[in-house]
Amino acid sequence: MKIVVHDTVSAMTDLLHRPSEERPDALREMLSPLRTVLSAVMGEVDLVEMHEQGSGFRLDRDDPRYLPALDLLRETRVLRRIEESLAAAWARIDAAAPGVRHADTVHVVLVLGDPDDEHLTVRSAGYLGSGGIPGAIHLLIWPTETSLAKIGHAAAHELHHNVRYANVAWNPMTVTVGEQVVAEGLAEAFVRELAGEQAMGPWATRLTGPELERAYAGITAAIDVAGMQNLPAYVFGDDTARLMGAEPVGLPDFAGYAAGLRIVDAHLAASGLTAARSIALPAAEILANAGMPNAGMPNAGMPSAGVPNAG
């Protein structure tokens, strides 16, 4: 596997020195390595529109915080650290699961986030990722002590998704809550294998105690709920589901990550496997090992639309 971490810090610095009317085309050029990969699964996509609808930096204003933030990314060698984390992650996967299918080349882009976006800066501690389509990883950051320390681990989390969905069928019509939460649990367990508990994201570790127990009960009761449109609240929680135009179901932020990690930990204990070795296992097998033998029937069909595991 060839992993290409593009120099988006230089590209964004150049972009922010341009007039506002030139910025969309500059961003489109910067994100172009992802376009072919994503379009093969999602159809033709406007990456600028996706950026503007998400938590990325704003194109239509001059914000005095942006250029210093890019300077900080440069000073902390964030792109090099992402490269190193991804190289270590791939070495671990390749050794644990030799012969596993994967994209020949994975393009990685890091984009500055919007410091005023609550989803990014509050719920997600300043960093996010999307890597479920083989060949593309999109990372988003607003630099803080936490996000700078953990963005490389987020990249490793996304690489686990990237390889998983080169092997596990994903169909937006039939994908289940079980598949999505298992994938998130595996990716966070993988980060823990690579770099320890402290490397894990807030998504899987923030929910504890009675709140976690209630969320786990609700998610496992809905483990076979299917259809991409029905999943956001179970995976990301109600507040993020509302942002995505989906129905809330009474769950806190990122409940599916914490529940998925509990399921995966039960699978790892029962099977003796690692998260790296489990990367291509069907959700049904992982759920059965975790004590849910009738849940998570395999999905049919390869990805045809949508974005598998955007996180």
Query: For residue range 218-235, what is the model confidence (pLDDT) as tens digits?
Result: 999 999 999 999 999 999
How many domains would you assign to the chain? 2
Same domain, yes or no, for 17 and 160? yes
Q: Are strands 136-141 and 127-130 parallel, antiparallel or unpaired?
A: antiparallel
Enclosing domain of residue 13: 2-164
Asked whether residue 171 is domain-assigned, the answer is no
If you count them, how many residues does the chain have? 311
pLDDT digits (tens, 9 = 90+) for 179-196: 999 999 999 999 999 999
pLDDT digits (tens, 9 = 90+) for 26-69: 999 999 999 888 887 777 888 999 899 889 999 999 999 999 99
What's residue 41's pLDDT?
Answer: 77
> Does 82 score more than 70 pLDDT?
yes
Same domain, yes or no, for 187 and 236? yes
309 or 47: whose pLDDT is higher? 47
Asked whether residue 182 is domain-assigned, the answer is yes
> Does 301 score more than 50 pLDDT?
no
Same domain, yes or no, for 55 and 119? yes
Among 141, 164, 187, the domain-final residue is 164
Among 132, 164, 196, the domain-final residue is 164
pLDDT digits (tens, 9 = 90+) for 153-164: 999 999 999 999
Mean pLDDT (the chain) is 92
* E strand residue ranges, 81-135: 105-112, 127-130
Same domain, yes or no, for 182 and 142? no
Same domain, yes or no, for 47 and 158? yes
pLDDT digits (tens, 9 = 90+) for 244-279: 889 999 999 999 999 999 999 999 999 999 999 999
Asked whether residue 16 is domain-assigned, the answer is yes
Among 164, 194, 218, the domain-final residue is 164
Same domain, yes or no, for 32 and 181? no
Asked whether residue 97 is domain-assigned, the answer is yes
23 close to 59: Cβ distance less than 8 angstroms: yes
Asked whether residue 294 is domain-assigned, the answer is no
Query: How many Cβ atoms sit within 10 Å of the Cβ of residue 93?
Result: 27
Same domain, yes or no, for 35 and 152? yes
> In the block, which residue shows the tokens 């299917």?
226
pLDDT band at 305 (very low <50, low <70, confident <90, very high): very low
What's residue 65's pLDDT?
Answer: 98
Share of the chain above pLDDT 90, in %: 85
214 close to 199: Cβ distance less than 8 angstroms: no
d(CA 103, CA 60): 35
Asked whether residue 261 is domain-assigned, the answer is yes
> Does 310 score more than 70 pLDDT?
no
Same domain, yes or no, for 181 and 160? no
The runs of H, that is alpha helices, within 104-237 are: 118, 145-164, 177-195, 202-205, 209-221, 232-236
> Does 298 score more than 50 pLDDT?
no
Query: How many Cβ atoms sit within 10 Å of the Cβ of residue 244?
Result: 12
CA 195 to chain centre: 17
Range 300-306 average pLDDT: 35
Share of the chain above pLDDT 70, in %: 94
Same domain, yes or no, for 36 and 160? yes
Asked whether residue 61 is domain-assigned, the answer is yes
What's residue 44's pLDDT?
Answer: 82
239 or 295: whose pLDDT is higher? 239
Same domain, yes or no, for 35 and 99? yes
Asked whether residue 297 is domain-assigned, the answer is no
**If we measure between CA atoms, which residue out of 233, 234, 250 comes closest to residue 242?**
233
What's residue 36's pLDDT?
Answer: 85
184 close to 260: Cβ distance less than 8 angstroms: yes
> Does 133 score more than 50 pLDDT?
yes
What's residue 39's pLDDT?
Answer: 80
Same domain, yes or no, for 158 and 191? no
Range 13-25 average pLDDT: 96
Same domain, yes or no, for 10 and 85? yes
